[in-house]
Structure 1
C-alpha cells in the first residue's frame, strides 16, 4: 500500500521536519495525475500526524514499470497504481518528468487543484534537462541546465510564500538584486492560495557570500602576523561595502513595493520585553550566558528609552552571507522566505530593516571566528579575527548608509539591541547543536 511505503520513506528524507518522533498516521490528502504514460507523474499532498502536530508535505511521485539504475537512489518501493504494480520514486530526480513542470508554467496550465503560472513578459525554454541540488535541508531545488532553478517547498503552509511575493514585486521594479523570476506553481489549502514552487534564473557563474568571506579569512590567517586585513591578498572589505549598498537598495525597493508603517514607543517597549524574556529563557538553558546578561540588559534599557516611532516595512527576515550571491555585475539576494519554522503571518509581518542589517553583521562575525573553533592556533588568531570582523562590518555599514540606510541616534540603539538579541538566539542554537562554536556568539557581548 502506498501510504505504508511513504510512511517509511518520508522519515528518512532530509527535508522531513519530524525526525526523532514517531509517525502516528500518514494520509494522502490529494493526488493529481499530470502525465499518464509510462513514466507516470503525479503530484501528492501528504498529511503526516505526529502527536498533536499535523504537517503537510508535497511529493512529485514518479511511477515506472521498470526503474533504471540512475533512479534507484530515489526509489520509494513497489506499489499498485492503475491496476498493476509499478516502481514508485521521487520524480524530482527524473529529468524526463521534471521537464513537464517547465511546460506547465510556460503554457499557464491548470490541472485542478494545481495551477502553473509564467511570469508575464518572460519566455521559458522547455528543453533544458534537470538535476537536483543536494545541499538543501528543508526544500528541494531542481536546476535546469544553466538557466533556471525551481525551488519546491516540501513542507506546506497555507498562503502565498513570501519569496514569491517579494521576488516578483522587486523584479517588477527592475531591481538588479534579485534573481529574475520565471514562474511558479500553486494550489489551494484551507481555502488559501498556497505556493508550491517558484522558478528563477539560475546564477551559474556566481559565488556565495559565505564562501567568499571564508576565503578572505583563510587568506588573512595564512599571512605573517604583521600583515593587516587591509593588506592581505583576499581582502573582503570592498565586497562588504558593495553588499551594504545592495542591502540598502533592496530595503528601499521593498518600501516602495509594499506598505510601510511605524511602531510607537509603547510597542518598542513591548519588543524590549520580548528580548528580555528570550534572554531569561536562554540563560536557563545555557548558564554561561548569565555572565553577559548585564551587557544585554543595558542595551535593552537604552532601547526601551526610545521616545520616537520606529519605521517598519517588509524585510528579508533571515539575512546572512549564505543568502547572497556575487555575480559578475553585483550582489543578488536569495531566499526571501523569512526565518525558517516561523508562522507565515510572522514572516510576512512588517519589521525594522535593521533586523536584516543585524543579521548580516552577525554573519560577518561568524565568518571571522568560526574557523577558530578547531584551529590549533586559535588563541593567537583571535585578534586577527577581531580585526577582520571590525573592518568588514564597518565597510558593510558604510555601504549601507551611503546608499540611504539610516543608522544614527535611535537607529544605532535599535541595531545594537537587535544584534544582541540575535546573539542570544545563536547561543542557544550552538549549545544545542555545535557546542564548540559557543564562544562565537558569546563574544558578541564583549565588544
Structure 2
C-alpha cells in the first residue's frame, strides 16, 4: 500500500529525475524510524530497465495541520503520511543527530571538527531547487538533502571539508553531514553549511546591473550606467583564482599529455555532432566551431588539470558584505560521480562564468519587444564584465597564457553548444542566447 502511494506521489515532485517516463516498480530498500512519527526511507525506482534511488523523510500524523496538506503523500488507515522536510517540528532531529554524532540503524550523523551546532534553530524549506531539497535553520545553517542518491562521497562534502581544513576564504563553512552505506559504499545523504543570510546571489546582482543599463538614456555606456558591475566582476575573478589555488593545494594535480589534449578536442566534436543532429540551426556555425577545436589540437604543451568546481556560473556565487563566496561544488548535475570528481582544466570553470555573463546580458531580451535595439547594450555589458572577470582572475594568480586562450575558447564554445540543445528542449524562445556565443569575439 505504501509503495503505491509513494509511486504516485514521487512522480510529481520537482526533484524527481525520471519525470515523463512511467515508473515500472518501486521498492523500499531501507526504512529507519528516526523519532516517533518520522521515518527515513531509501526507495528504489525502476524505469525502462534502470534503477535510481531516492531518500524520503516520511512523517506520520493522525491529524494533519493545514500547513502540511501540500506535503501529503497519502493515508493508510487513520494515519497521514507526508513529506516531513516541511515539518519544522520533525526536522529538529537533523540538528540534534549531527550535534551528537549519532548513529541510528546505519544512518551516521556527524558534525565538522571544532564546530558547535545550535539545536534550537527551526527549519524552513527553500523552494527554488530542482534536484535537491535545502532546509534553512534560522539564520545559521543551510542543510542540503540529496534526494537522488548516488553511491559515494558527494564532491561538495569532500571539497568544502578539505578547503575548510586549510581555512580557505571564499567558501561557506561546513557544519555537518549525514551518511550511510549504499551498495556497500559510504554515501553522502545530506550536507550542512553556514547560511549566508546577509549575502546576495550573483545572478540577481548581475541582472540588476543589466536592468539599470537597459533603463538608462540612449548613449549611456555600460561603464557609465548606475549599476555598473565590472568592479564586482574583477573581485569575482580574484576569488575564483584563489579557489582554484586552494583546490590545487588540497587535491592531486596532473599534467595532461598532448595526445590527451587532442582527445579533449575530439570530445568537443562529438558533442557538436550530437547537437547538430538535434538542433539543425547549429549547422551554419560548424566551420567556426571546428576551427576553434582545431586550435586545441595545435597545442604543443601539456595542460595542467586539477579538481575544479565543474558547474560554475553566477548562480553559484554569493556576494557577502566583505567578498564573494563560492557554493555548490557538486559538479555538473546528472553526470556520474566519477566524472564530477575527475581532474579538469580550471579554464573549464572560467569558461562557465564567461558564458554566465552572456546569459545575464541577454536573459531579459528573450521576450523583449525592443530586443534588437538593446542587443548592442547587451553585448557591451557582457564584453565589459567578461574582460573584468579575466583581469581579476589573472590578478588573483590565475594563469591564462596565449596558448590557454585557445583551450578557454573551446571550453566556452562547447558549453554554448550544450546550452543550445538545452534551450531547444526546454525553452525554445531562449535559443538565441547561446547562439550569440558563436559570433566573433574581440581579441
TM range (shorter): over 0.9
The count of corresponding residues between Structure 1 and Structure 2 is 440
The answer for the alignment partner of 2:15 in structure 1 is 15
- Name the CA distance, whole Å, in 1 between partners of 2:273 and 2:218: 40
Which runs of 4 or more aligned residues in structure 1 lie more than 4 Å from their structure 2 counterparts after TM superposition?
none
Q: 1:203 aligns with which of 196, 206, 212?
A: 196
Question: Could you tell me how far apart the structure 2 residues matched to 1:409 and 1:390 are?
Answer: 19
Q: Structure 1: which 5+ runs fail to align?
A: none
Partner Cα separation in structure 2 for residue 137 and residue 212 of structure 1:
21
2:264 alignment partner, one of 256, 264, 271: 271
CA distance in 1, matches of 2:419, 2:72: 37
> For the residues of structure 2 that align with 1:433 and 1:243, how far apart are their CA atoms?
30
- Aligned counterpart, 1:409: 402
1:119 maps onto 2:112 in alignment: yes
In structure 1, the residue matched to 2:308 is 315
**Correspondence 1:150 to 2:143:** yes
CA-CA distance at 1:71 after TM superposition: 1.1
- Aligned residue number for residue 30 of structure 1: 30
TM-aligned CA deviation for residue 112 of structure 1: 2.2
| Alpha-carbon shift at residue 370 of structure 1 (Å) | 1.6
1:68 aligns with 2:65: yes
CA distance in 2, matches of 1:24, 1:445: 42
- Pick from 41, 57, 60: which aligns with 2:54? 57
Shift of 1:79: 2.0
Distance 2:8 2:412 in 1: 42
C-alpha separation in 1, matches of 2:25 and 2:328: 32
- TM-score (normalised: structure 1): 0.97
Match of residue 428, structure 1, among 421, 425, 428:
421
Gaps of 5+ in 2: none
Structure 2 residue aligned with 1:231, among 208, 221, 224?
224
TM-score of the pair, normalised by structure 2: 0.98
Deviation of 1:363 after TM superposition, in Å, equals: 0.3
Partner of 1:43: 40
Cα distance in 1 between the residues matched to 2:401 and 2:252: 23
Q: Deviations over 1:279-314 (max 9, x none)?
A: 111111111111111111111111001111100000
Backbone CA RMSD of aligned residues = 0.8
How do 1:140-219 residues align onto structure 2 when only pairs under 5 Å count? 140-219=133-212
SS at 1:372's partner residue?
coil
Task: Specify the alignment match of 1:348 in structure 2.
Answer: 341
In structure 1, C-alpha distance between the alignment counterparts of 2:427 and 2:72, rounded to whole Å: 33
Alignment correspondent of 2:122? 129
1:374: how far off?
1.0
Residue equivalent to 1:107? 100
1:406 match: secondary structure = coil
The farther-off stretch of 400-409 and 100-109 is 400-409
